[in-house]
């Protein structure tokens, strides 16, 4: 695992639709990094700070009133601004590895693909909130059978406001994830999440090694 030491000061994000096993794989990668003596900060979006977690609650709660896609988008970037300022940038500046369960790719996938928001509007907010901050590596956990993936997620518990969306919503989100990965193969690695937890973890470790050992 010593090869994972190159992750110091790097920003790694996990992406994918519901039920692909992101949370489990985040935990396993963080454990591997700790064993390799890498200082690591594990976090998530939306959330990661007191204010951002409060916004997460607003985003995911069920309401009688329908939240507009624009309101949802602006809340996500409000939470992201707090998260970057309070957690991500300080950790990276201190030479720590940041591992984040979802980041802006999720916004392109869910709000762009799922909700149909014009991608250029998301890009404008991304530039405003993040400046030049982008992940060094984005691991997209993928299951071609979206229905199976969602069935796994439903087995975990009651769905939040976004998790209960229709199948077509997540199919559109998956297409955006894959399109973004295909458009920038130097940053993205698509991981087949159909395999066992151990096999997926091994593939992730290989992807991390290959990405950072290549410079």
Residue 206 has pLDDT above 90, yes or no: yes
Contacts of 89 (CB under 8 A, 6+ apart): 133
Dihedral in degrees, nearest 10, Cα atoms 156, 161, 167, 169: -130
* Structure tokens belonging to residue 125: 């907010």
Structure confidence by residue, pLDDT tens digits, 92-111: 999 999 999 999 999 999 99
* Domain residue ranges in the chain: 2-213
* Structure tokens belonging to residue 190: 């698509």
Strands 11-15 and 97-101: parallel
Q: What is the pLDDT of residue 157?
A: 56
Cα–Cα distance, 202 to 215 (Å, whole number): 20
Q: What is the CATH number of domain 2-213?
A: 3.40.50.300
Structure confidence by residue, pLDDT tens digits, 156-193: 556 788 888 889 999 999 999 999 999 999 999 999 99
Contacts of 2 (CB under 8 A, 6+ apart): 36
What is the overall mean pLDDT for the chain?
93
Q: What is the pLDDT of residue 1?
A: 44
Please state the pTM of the whole predicted model: 0.93
Cα–Cα distance, 46 to 173 (Å, whole number): 17
């Amino acid at each position: 695992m010593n090869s994972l030491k190159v992750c110091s000061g790097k920003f790694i994000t996990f992406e994918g639709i519901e039920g692909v096993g992101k949370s489990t794989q985040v935990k396993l990668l963080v454990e591997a990094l700790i064993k390799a003596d890498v200082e690591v900060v594990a976090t998530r979006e939306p959330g990661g700070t007191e204010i951002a977690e409060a916004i997460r609650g607003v985003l995911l709660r069920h309401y009688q009133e329908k939240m507009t896609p624009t309101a949802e988008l602006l809340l996500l970037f409000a939470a992201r601004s707090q998260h970057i300022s309070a957690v991500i940038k300080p950790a990276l500046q201190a030479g720590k590895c940041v591992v984040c369960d979802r980041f802006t790719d999720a916004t392109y996938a869910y709000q762009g693909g799922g909700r149909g928001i014009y991608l250029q509007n998301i890009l404008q907010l991304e530039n405003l909130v993040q400046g030049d901050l982008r992940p060094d590596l984005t691991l997209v956990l993928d299951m071609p059978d979206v229905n199976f993936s969602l069935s796994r997620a439903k087995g975990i518990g009651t769905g939040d406001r976004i998790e209960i969306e229709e199948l077509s919503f997540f199919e559109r989100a998956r297409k955006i994830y894959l399109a973004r990965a295909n458009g920038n193969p130097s940053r993205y690695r698509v991981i087949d999440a159909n395999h066992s937890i151990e096999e997926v973890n091994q593939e992730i470790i290989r992807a991390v090694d290959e990405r950072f050992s290549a410079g």
